[in-house]
């Protein structure tokens, strides 16, 4: 049986079906395949997968009953690198184990950034009280009313803002005086007292005036546009009604302050004119008092009228003297010098001349009294001084009236562009914004400190 199978096997090697030429008994060596060809594939597969897997992966091209023929030895090729099948994975380039400073940096980041930020977020969302805002906006306006002459000339004053008054009002709203006035009206300590455990946005019960002023500057935010002269006030409170009342009180106190400034400006504008008017009035009163005392002393109401009457007496005496002389001349033509009528006329003429001399002597000197010319001169001096005082008083009075009219034309008033609003939503504190800014600054501070610490360590 074994011989038959061997004969059959040889018969298959000698004769092939179809009358083909019988194959040689010994197989010739196959030509060597290139290095990258199919012949290299089984070996590489064997090296990579192992002998058992390589055997299973070989293609079954010959029947299992066919005899195994050994191929001729191949010439040695170039050596190929061998890859171990079970080699450990290599480490990634540039990787290193976490060092001590890395762990310190991570710990400092948690301690200096994450924990404070978490504490801030817990406070803002869990402890901080909601705040409502009321907004009001106003500006100081000055109205310059033009005089009739300016209207005729085309120079009419328009309403404009006053930057100096607005600056004063801005500082007044932030001042302690404003805080005291509002506190007297609304009781700020009760309004900003602690409704809950919030220690930052609330005011303690034993707060001083300075604490109240500092808390006021945090809760009342003022925006001042110097270009347009507009002040915008945002008042914060724990209730919408409280915020609106606070903004309204600020607006009313600001209006009162501007009215005080306007009154002070009018007083300053008319103060000099009032002083001049007062001095002129005192001078006029003194002049009139001196003239009254003069009249009482000399018992003369009007020396000019008295002088005219005295001059009239002298004129009449001169007229009578001329008539007597004419009568004497006519009588002498008709009679002699011994005539009694001539002697009578001469006696009359002598009396008239004596009277004229006596009347004229009163103008130069007086017996036991002041000379009449001196009295008249004193009266004229007092009269001139009184008239000058009257003219000065009239001028000062006109200047005072003009200054008052000018001050009234330049009036100041507070124009409210936005009345105090009533909030419906608590917009403060701005939790997201505060948290984001705090996180940014904490991160920047931690980065700076870490870089400084590493640079100091590397220099050692």
Token digits of residue 214: 């500092």
Residues 183 and 257 placed together within one structural domain of the fold: yes
Task: Name the β-bridge partners of 237.
Answer: 132
Question: In whole angstroms, how far apart are CA 156 and each of 12, 161, 269, 312, 405?
Answer: 135, 16, 20, 63, 16
Same domain, 396 and 376: yes
Does 229 share its domain with 293?
Answer: no
One domain for residues 287 and 237? no
Higher pLDDT, residue 28 or 242? 242
Rounded to whole angstroms, the Cα distance separating 138 from 177 reads 20
- Report yes or no: 161 and 139 within 8 Å, Cβ to Cβ: yes
Q: What is the CATH number of the domain that holds 393?
A: 1.10.287
Q: What is the average pLDDT score of the chain?
A: 74
Percent over 90 (pLDDT), the chain: 18
Top-confidence residue, 345 or 197: 345
**In a shared domain, residues 416 and 268:** yes
Instruction: Flag whether 44 is in a domain.
Output: no
Residues 282 and 390 in one domain: yes
Q: Is residue 105 part of a domain?
A: no
Tell me what the mean pLDDT of segment 111-120 comes to.
91
Q: Residues 6 or more apart from 327 whose CB is under 8 A from it?
A: 345
Please check whether residue 108 lies inside any domain of the structure: no
State yes or no: pLDDT of 362 exceeds 70: no
Q: What is the CATH number of the domain that holds 239?
A: 3.30.1890
Residue 63 has what DSSP assignment? -
pLDDT digits (tens, 9 = 90+) for 420-450: 999 888 888 888 888 999 999 999 999 999 8
Domain assignment present for 399: yes
Evaluated on CA atoms 296, 298, 299, 301, the torsion sign reads negative
In a domain, 9, yes or no: no
Range list of H helices, 154-239: 163-173, 176-186, 188-191, 209-219
Name the least confident of 166-170, 171-175, 424-428.
424-428
Q: Which of the pair, 107 or 143, is modelled with greater confidence?
A: 107
How many structural domains are present in the chain?
3
Is residue 109 situated within a structural domain?
no
| Three-state secondary structure call for residue 132 | strand
pLDDT surpassing 70 at residue 382: yes
Question: Is position 254 within any domain?
Answer: yes
Higher pLDDT, 18 or 387: 387
Q: Does the pLDDT of residue 134 top 90, yes or no?
A: yes
Q: Are residue 403 and residue 457 in the same domain, yes or no?
A: no
Domain membership of residue 164 (yes or no) is yes
Query: Does residue 139 share a domain with residue 191?
Result: yes
**Structural domain that includes position 332:** 276-408
pLDDT at 88: 44
Give the three-state DSSP class for 113. Answer: helix
Residues 144 and 223 in one domain: yes
Greater model confidence, 243 or 80: 243
Give the model confidence (pLDDT) of 288-299 as tens digits: 999 888 888 877
Residue 335 has pLDDT above 70, yes or no: yes
Q: Is the pLDDT of residue 319 over 50?
A: yes
Quickly state the pLDDT bin for 149 (edges 50, 70, 90). Answer: very low
Residues 330 and 256 reside in one and the same domain: no
């Amino acid at each position: 049986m074994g011989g038959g199978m061997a004969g059959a096997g040889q018969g298959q090697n000698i004769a092939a079906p179809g009358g083909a030429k019988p194959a040689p008994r010994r197989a010739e060596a196959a030509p060597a395949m290139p290095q990258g060809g199919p012949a290299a594939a089984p070996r590489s597969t064997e090296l990579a997968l192992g002998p058992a897997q390589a055997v299973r992966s070989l293609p079954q091209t010959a029947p299992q009953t066919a005899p195994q023929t050994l191929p001729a030895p191949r010439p040695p090729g170039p050596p190929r690198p061998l890859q171990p099948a079970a080699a450990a994975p290599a480490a990634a380039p540039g990787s290193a184990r976490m060092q001590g400073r890395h762990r310190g940096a991570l710990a400092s980041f948690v301690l200096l950034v994450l924990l404070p930020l978490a504490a801030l977020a817990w406070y803002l969302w869990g402890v901080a009280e909601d705040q409502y805002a009321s907004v009001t906006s106003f500006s100081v306006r000055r109205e310059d009313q033009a005089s009739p002459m300016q209207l005729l000339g085309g120079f009419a004053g328009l309403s404009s803002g006053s930057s100096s008054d607005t600056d004063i009002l801005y500082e007044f709203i932030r001042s302690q005086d404003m805080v005291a006035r509002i506190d007297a009206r609304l009781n700020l300590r009760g309004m900003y007292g602690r409704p809950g455990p919030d220690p930052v946005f609330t005011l303690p019960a034993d707060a001083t005036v300075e604490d109240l002023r500092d808390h006021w500057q945090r809760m009342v935010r003022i925006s001042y546009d110097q270009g347009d002269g507009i002040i915008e006030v945002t008042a914060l409170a724990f209730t919408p009604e409280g915020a609106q009342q606070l903004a309204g009180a600020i607006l009313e106190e600001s209006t009162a302050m501007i009215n005080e400034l306007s009154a002070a400006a009018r007083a300053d504008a008319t103060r000099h004119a009032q002083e001049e008017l007062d001095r002129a009035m005192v001078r006029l009163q003194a002049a009139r008092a001196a003239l009254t005392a003069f009249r009482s002393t000399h018992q003369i109401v009007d020396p000019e009228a008295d002088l005219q009457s005295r001059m009239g007496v002298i004129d009449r005496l001169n007229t009578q003297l001329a008539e007597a002389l004419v009568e004497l001349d006519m009588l002498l033509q008709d009679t002699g010098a011994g005539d009694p009528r001539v002697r009578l006329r001469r006696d009359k003429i002598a009396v008239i001349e004596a009277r004229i001399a006596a009347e004229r002597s009163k103008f130069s000197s007086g017996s036991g009294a002041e000379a009449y010319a001196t009295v008249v001169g004193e009266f004229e001096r007092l009269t001139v001084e009184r008239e000058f005082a009257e003219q000065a008083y009239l001028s000062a009075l006109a200047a005072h009236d003009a200054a008052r009219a000018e001050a009234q034309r330049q009036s100041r008033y507070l124009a409210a562009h936005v009345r105090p609003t009533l909030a419906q939503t608590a917009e403060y504190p701005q939790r997201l914004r505060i948290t984001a800014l705090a996180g940014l600054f904490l991160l920047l501070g931690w980065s700076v400190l870490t870089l400084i610490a590493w640079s100091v360590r590397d220099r050692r």
